Every structure is written in structure tokens, then in C-alpha cells.
Amino acid sequence: MAPLLSIEKLVSGYGEARVLHRIDLALEEGKSLALLGRNGAGKTTLLDTIVGVTTHHAGSIRFAGRDITRTRPEQRAAAGIGWVPQERNIFHSLTVEENLTATSRPGVWNLSRVYAMFPRLEERKRNLGNQLSGGEQQMLAVARALMLNPKLLLLDEPLEGLAPIIVDELLAALRRIVTEEGMSAIIVEQKARKILPLTDDAAVLERGGIAYRDTSATLLSNPDALEHHLSVA
């Protein structure tokens, strides 16, 4: 059976600047991947490339059996790629509920399910996006991506800059999404020890290439590899 996502010999970047160099990466349906690496290694660029907002120089991307290498971002979203960027990109002038329904698609993830996942959002469903805290905005960004009912969820540093209590709430939600619900996901995160227990596999980027690939459990149990690749003691 073909993987849900298959990337081969990918070279991409921004304009003439090439950030990723001959990336080979595959993700099976129902599996989750922690995408790790130091700042500037190319993690965000890889997610940006999967959603189609970078410059393609070489290689191919296949998703759900289709070649999407030249496909526009909105077509990739329609094909089932959900994206939570670092900037969150929520609609600040819309209410929480309007944010959730504005781009929603039919499927198992609906208002009642995302409110059950994030009770804070139901409590604030009539608040505007700009009236939410940073942590609540992040919850809204994740919930809005779920309302697309994607086949693959991409999250770019979902824990960045959040208070510890919000980090715990988000980790609990992500654990349910990827382990209990079995959604395919790629999660970029600086906090390796936080995200590795939630994911099946791990890949480490260095200088635009994949320097390490193994199961998350193997990397988590290998302090030498964590220190060598991520400077995590």
C-alpha cells in the first residue's frame, strides 16, 4: 500500500534561495511524525512546501495517491491537507464560532467535537479572535484545521510561547488526535521531549537535509542522539 505522503528528492526554498536539498520522506496513513531540528534547519520550509507556498526546484510530492508537486495551495487543502502555521492565521474580526465554520468541510470533526476537545473555545464561542489569549488562539487554529476534516494535519511549533498549563492542555488534545483518533500528522516542535511521546516516528533536519530518522521511542531513549542532533541534554 502506498504511503499517504511521499516526498522524493525534493529541492525547494523561497525564490532562488534553496533551503531543502534532496529530501526523501514518507508517511503512512494513520501515523504521526515529529519533525525536529535546530533553528534554520528547514523544518518550517518543509511544511510550507507540503502546503505549496514555497518555490519548487526539483523532486516530487505525492499525497493520497496523487502527484501534487505543481498543485496550488487551495487544491492541496481541498485534497485533505490541514495546516496550523506558526502565525496561527486566525480571523481576528470573526468570532470563535465563525472562525470554525468559515472554511469547514463535512466529516467527523464538527462543532460539537471540537468544543468537546477544547472546552475553552465553547466558553468563548462569541468572542472575536482578537479577544483571545495566545493559548486560546492556538487552540482555535488547531480546531479550525480539524474542521477541514483533513487526511493529514501539519502543525508548526504548536507549543511555542505558551504558558505551561496551556501546553499541557494542547499536548492532551494532540495526544488524542494522533493516538486515539489515529490522524496522520507531522508536528514541528522545538520541545523534543514533549512531542516525541505523542508521535510514532521522528526525523531530524540539519542544513536542509534529513540527518536522522527512526521511531520516536528510539530517539527519546537515546540521549546521545538527542544531544548530538538537538543539543537536548
Here the CATH number for the domain that contains residue 212 is: 3.40.50.300
- As a whole number of angstroms, the distance between CA 204 and CA 224 comes to 14
- 206: β partners: 209
Is 168 part of a structural domain of the chain?
no
State how far the alpha carbon of 230 is from the alpha carbons of 44, 74, 94, 210, 223, in Å. Answer: 16, 34, 39, 13, 10
Q: N- to C-terminal Cα distance for the chain?
A: 38
> What's the CA angle centered on 169, arms 38 and 134, to 5 degrees?
70
Of the CA atoms within 13 Å of residue 117, those in its CB half-sphere come to 26
- Which residues are CB-contacts of 183 (< 8 A; sequence separation ≥ 6)? 30, 32, 150, 152, 153, 177
What angle do helix axes 164-175 and 134-146 make, rounded to 10 degrees?
Answer: 10
Is 75 part of a structural domain of the chain?
yes
Side chain identity at 149, as an amino acid letter?
N
Is 161 part of a structural domain of the chain?
no
pLDDT band at 2 (very low <50, low <70, confident <90, very high): confident
Is 111 part of a structural domain of the chain?
no
Residue bearing cell 494513520: 30
Whether residue 233 is predicted with pLDDT greater than 60 in this model: the reply is no
Q: Where do runs of H (alpha helix) occur along 65-212?
A: 73-79, 96-102, 111-117, 119-123, 134-146, 164-175, 192-195
* Residues 13 and 7 sit within 8 Å (Cβ to Cβ): no
Question: Using one digit for the tens of pLDDT, what is the confidence trace for 187-206?
Answer: 999 899 999 999 999 999 99
Percent of the chain at pLDDT > 70 equals 100
Domain count, the chain: 1
DSSP letter for each residue of 83-97 = EE-TT----TTSBHH
Query: In the sheet where 55-63 sits, what is the strand order?
Result: 17-27, 5-14, 55-63, 66-67
Is 3 part of a structural domain of the chain?
yes
- Its pTM stands at 0.95
Is 223 part of a structural domain of the chain?
yes
Question: Using one digit for the tens of pLDDT, what is the confidence trace for 135-178?
Answer: 999 999 999 999 999 999 999 999 998 999 999 999 999 999 99
DSSP letter for each residue of 27-69 = E-TT-EEEEE-STTSSHHHHHHHHHT-SEEEEEEEEETTEE-T
Where in the sequence is the domain holding 223, given as residue range(s)? 1-80+194-233
Is 163 part of a structural domain of the chain?
no
Question: Using one digit for the tens of pLDDT, what is the confidence trace for 3-32?
Answer: 999 999 999 999 999 999 999 999 999 999
Is 119 part of a structural domain of the chain?
no
Local structure of residue 129 (DSSP, 8 states): G
